[in-house]
Amino acid sequence: MKIEVNEHGTIVLKEVFNPIKLVTADNETLIITMRDSGFEVCYENDFYELKQGKVLADSGFVSGSCKGEVCSVCGKPATNKLEETIFWDDPNKMRHPLTAYVCREHFRMIVGG
Task: Name the more confident of 59 and 22.
Answer: 22
Q: Is the pLDDT of residue 25 over 90?
A: yes
- Residues 47-56: contacts with CB under 8 Å, at least 24 apart: 47/104, 47/108
Beta strands in the chain (DSSP E): 2-5, 11-14, 20-23, 29-34, 39-43, 46-51, 54-57, 80-83, 99-102
Q: What is the mean pLDDT of residues 58-68?
A: 83
Confidence of residue 113 (pLDDT cuts 50, 70, 90): low
Q: Is the pLDDT of residue 96 over 80?
A: yes
Task: Name the more confident of 59 and 78.
Answer: 78
Output the pLDDT for position 112.
66
CA atoms within 13 A on the CB side of 17: 2
pTM value is 0.52
Q: What is the mean pLDDT of residues 62-82?
A: 92
